[in-house]
Structures are given as C-alpha cells and as structure tokens.
Amino acid sequence: MAGRIKYIPPQMDPLAGTSTRAARQNPLRLLMQDTGVLITVLPYLPNVILPLKAKDKSAELHLSLANLRDIILQCWLFLMETVLLTLAVPALLILPGSVSIVAAALSCMVIYLLALPSQGPRIAYSNMDDGTRVLAEQYKNERWLFVNGIATGHAGLQRNIDRISQTFGRAVIGIHNVTYGLPADLLECLVQRCLSFKTMDVRVTYAYLKPILIDPTVTKVVLIGHSQGGIIVSLAIDQLLTELPASCLCKLEIYTFGSAASHFSNPLLSIPLKADPSSSTSNIQVDFSPIAKHLIPHIEHYANEQDMVPRWGVLHSVCDILRNRYAGSVFVRLGASGHLFNQHYMDSMFPLPTKDRSSLVESFLDRIVTLDRKLGIGREVSQTFDILRKETTLEFGNGQEMQLGSGIANGTGAAGAIMTFARTESGRLMGEEARGKTVRELSRLWRYQGGRSPEDSQLPLKSPTSKGRYLK
C-alpha cells in the first residue's frame, strides 16, 4: 500500500447543510469526545518522528547543533509534562487546595522558563538566495504566510519558511505558533478545537492577515498551515469570514500539511436551487457541479496516513464525521508516516530538484491517485438528507425516487416536492473527473514549484530539472 495516494474530492455542500461540530454540540461533551479520539490515536505517536533519516540540512532531525538543542529541549518538556499530568489528579486529591494551586503555578512557571530558549519574535521572514530573490521580485503583489505546528521553536519556524521560499520561489512570512512542549501543545489544540478559543497565536494570525487581505495592491494571499497551524488558520478564517467582503477573501488560497484542524469553513457564493413554477408539484433541482462556487477558490490538504496528528485532525474530520464542514480536497499518502514539515512533508511531496534525474521518477506528484468516490458521495448525500423535510421525494436523475423523513419546506408545504440531483456536464458525479489522474494534474500548489505560477499559460506536467526549471 505504501506509495499509493488517496484523493478525497472537495466537499461541494450545495445546500450548505454541513456545519462545524462546535456549532452542533455542547462544548464540554465535544471536549470529552475529542479527548477520547486523541487517546485512540496515541499509539501512532512514534510515527510523528519516523522515518528518522534526514535527507538534507533543512530536515528537523539533521544532527546540527541548533537541531540538537531543540530536540533535547522538547524531550525535557515532554518528560516533565508527562510526569506532571500523571501526578496531577493524585495531587489534587491528596494535597490541600491552596498547596495544589501553588504547585500547579510553580509547575507552569518552570515549563514556561524551560520553553523560553525556543521562542523568538512572533513574525519571521524567509532568507533567500539571489536566485530565489529574483523569482520573488516577479510576484511582489503576492503574500505568502506560514503558521507552524506543534513542538516547533522559532529556529524550526525559520527553517520551515526558508524551505517554502526555496521550493516555490517566493518571499515567505512566518507566524510563530509558540510551543511549550508536545503535551501542552496538544492540550491547547483541544481547547482551540472544542471551545473555538482564539489563543494568542490565532489572534496574531488574524491581526496580520486581515490588513493584507484588505490591501488593494495585494492580488493573492497564499496561507500555509502545518499541524496545529491548521487549527490556527481555520479559526482565523472563521473570524475573517464574518468581517471581510468577498472581494478580499477571494484572493486567498489555503494549503495545509498534517492538519490538526477539526473543520474548515468556506461559504458558498450561492445555493444552486432552482424551482419550476409551471410544475404542479414543487420541483427543486440541485446542481452537483464539480466546479466549486465557494468564497475561497482554492483549499488543499496534504496528509500522511500513519501520522498521528492528521489521524486526529483532517482524516478523522473528513472520513469519520460526514456531516462535518471541511472544505478542500485531500491528498493522503497511504502507508506513510512522519509529521515533521520539512523532513516528512516537503521532502516527500515537494522535493527540491536534484542532479539525479532518476530520483524524481514516480515521485508523489507523478503517482496516479486512488479516488475515494464512496466517501465523496457520502459526505454530500448525508448533509443533503439532513436538510430535507418530511414527505419529500428525491429523484436522482435516472427516474428512481426515494422518500425521506425530512426536507426543504415551501410556501404550501413540502408534500409531493421533488428534488433532482443534476449530473455534471461530463455525465459523471462527484470527483469522477479525478479518476486516472496524477497528483500533479489535480494539485494546484505544485504549480508554484520552482517559481512558477498556476496562471502561466502553458505549465508542463513534468518533473523539475536539477536547475529548478521545468521540462517542455
């Protein structure tokens, strides 16, 4: 199975029937459920750092002094926090209340002081060589932003944005999601996901992103999130959707890697319902168009199947909760593990050009995807059924009708109403256009690789050469 790529088509949601779990469920109950799911994926925790082999100096596990310092610090924080969390409940039961409060405060202070060496400015800027700087000058009207994931210090953020800049030929701005160790970061993820709590990292991302989107001289904003950065991006977008007009938000493109987010919102520009006034019954047509008519034009998610974080985040939210709102297409490397951004995602999915041309054969981008059509249909049909009212009849375009218990009401009642699901222009439903295609043909992000742009009139579907140019 290793090496295969599963493709989950983007959620069309034509009736806007999906919603976030936080909008439907009691937050405390959701917190308990989410904690349970996190516990079930903990056996995959070792996969976060596997495989250990580092291909270049930008890899997180490359044995440099800076990397060793970060690794040792994260190990200390992990051990301390694991012990403290294990002793927390017995301490609360045995110690007097005032002593427990003092002990908890001292523990938090020690962790904060230990984590200080890994911190730095909230905003970082990519370092660029002369070649990258020349490419970036061609796209001065674009802004590329990156939000890092769990257990990543400021030095790690700098390596991440330098790698993005080198890969895509753009200047990249990094927003530092501060780490206090893996257990503390996972607890913060729970609070963000279940309570929709806007932590400092979310507020910084929102405050930096909003004026960029409003700026009329900026024509495109590419926002990349890794791991917990996916949650931060998701929450910041939720807030911006309530404040900015479509003319600002349509500049945005979102790409995530190993996302821990439990939802991604992307409102429809319109609901494609049509009624036939000449019909004796209420004939309602829904057009399942493969061309998404959503506010944010491009959202893509990339995940390794055996990575613990997306198994809790994007993969669980998309595959297990069909009614959940999670906009964007999903590319999954089946059988693959690893959560580190440079080492396990960029090196495996968007590698830097090498002199050995043979190493690029059958890369991630060149593999034919396995279409998860059943899941794609399930995500659409489940939320459509929920939006209908009783006594409504569904007609699926081939004459077959189906009575449901709930449906869309109209002025005279819904009895006898017919809803028709229109096929696409090619006569194929939901994601079928992806069948037999490679990742390179479906992905938008790769089209930026080597300093190119998706807007280029002729973008050859070939691997890059050793000089970062594309074969014609």
Phi, psi for residue 264 in degrees, rounded to 5: -145, 120
Read off the amino acid at residue 201: D
Q: Is the pLDDT of residue 298 over 60?
A: yes
Query: Pairing relation of β-strands 389-395 and 418-422?
Result: parallel
Angle (nearest 5°) at CA 147 between 80 and 82: 10
Report the distance separating Cα 58 and Cα 234, nearest Å.
27
- Stretch 408-413: mean pLDDT, rounded? 38
Q: Which residue has the higher pLDDT, 285 or 108?
A: 108
Q: Is the pLDDT of residue 185 over 70?
A: yes
Tell me: the pLDDT tens digits for 112-165? 999 999 999 999 999 999 999 999 999 999 999 999 999 999 999 999 999 999
Read off the amino acid at residue 26: N
Q: Is the pLDDT of residue 10 over 70?
A: yes
Per residue, the 3-state secondary structure of 163-184, as one string, reads HHHHHHCCCEEEECCCCCCHHH
Provide the pLDDT for residue 435. 86
If you search the block for the tokens 């409003």, which residue do you land on? 214
90-104, 169-183, 348-362: which has the minimum mean pLDDT? 348-362
25-39, 91-105, 234-248, 396-410: which has the minimum mean pLDDT? 396-410
DSSP 8-state assignment for residue 462: S
Q: Is the pLDDT of residue 442 over 90?
A: yes
Provide the pLDDT for residue 100. 86
Provide the pLDDT for residue 37. 97
Q: Is the pLDDT of residue 179 over 90?
A: yes
User: By CB neighbour count within 10 A (0-12 exposed, 13-18 middle, 19+ buried), where does 72 fall?
Assistant: exposed
Report the distance separating Cα 330 and Cα 315, nearest Å.
9
Q: What is the DSSP string of 94-163?
A: HS-HHHHHHHHHHHHHHHHHHHGGG---SEEE----HHHHHHHHTTTTEEEEEE--TT--HHHHHHHHHH
User: By CB neighbour count within 10 A (0-12 exposed, 13-18 middle, 19+ buried), where does 89 fall?
Assistant: exposed
Read off the amino acid at residue 65: L
Q: How far is CA 354 from CA 2, 31, 467, in A?
A: 23, 46, 8
Which residues have C-beta within 8 Å of that of residue 47, sequence separation ≥ 6?
306, 307, 308, 337, 338, 339
185-189, 241-245, 454-458: which has the minimum mean pLDDT? 454-458
Tell me: the pLDDT tens digits for 100-117? 889 889 999 999 999 999
CB 237 within 8 A of CB 205: no
Q: Is the pLDDT of residue 394 over 80?
A: no
Report the distance separating Cα 328 and Cα 265, nearest Å.
9
- Average confidence score pLDDT of the chain: 85
CB 336 within 8 A of CB 304: yes
- Report pTM: 0.88
DSSP 8-state assignment for residue 345: I
Provide the pLDDT for residue 398. 42
Provide the pLDDT for residue 375. 87
Tell me: the pLDDT tens digits for 243-269? 999 999 999 999 999 999 999 999 988
If you search the block for the tokens 């998860």, which residue do you land on? 372
13-22, 82-91, 215-224, 442-451: which has the minimum mean pLDDT? 13-22
Which residues have C-beta within 8 Å of that of residue 82, sequence separation ≥ 6?
183
Which residues have C-beta within 8 Å of that of residue 146, sequence separation ≥ 6?
157, 160, 161, 164, 172, 173, 174, 175, 223, 224, 225, 226, 229
Which residues have C-beta within 8 Å of that of residue 50, sequence separation ≥ 6?
337, 338
Provide the pLDDT for residue 272. 67
Q: Which residue has the higher pLDDT, 2 or 217?
A: 217
Would you mind telling me the total number of residues written for the chain in this entry? 472
DSSP 8-state assignment for residue 1: -
- Stretch 414-431: mean pLDDT, rounded? 45
94-103, 221-230, 252-261, 420-429: which has the minimum mean pLDDT? 420-429
Q: 285: pLDDT confidence band, cut at 50, 70 and 90? A: low
User: By CB neighbour count within 10 A (0-12 exposed, 13-18 middle, 19+ buried), where does 98 fall?
Assistant: exposed
Q: Is the pLDDT of residue 403 over 60?
A: no
Q: Which of 52, 24, 10 is nearest to 380 (CA)?
A: 10
Q: 465: pLDDT confidence band, cut at 50, 70 and 90? A: very low
Take residue 11 and report the two structure tokens written for it.
């959620």
Which residues have C-beta within 8 Å of that of residue 277, sequence separation ≥ 6?
none
Q: 428: pLDDT confidence band, cut at 50, 70 and 90? A: very low
Q: 282: pLDDT confidence band, cut at 50, 70 and 90? A: low
Provide the pLDDT for residue 467. 43
Q: How far is CA 419 from CA 27, 37, 389, 391, 401, in A?
A: 35, 37, 11, 12, 9
Q: 410: pLDDT confidence band, cut at 50, 70 and 90? A: very low
CB 393 within 8 A of CB 403: yes
Take residue 161 and report the two structure tokens written for it.
């944005």
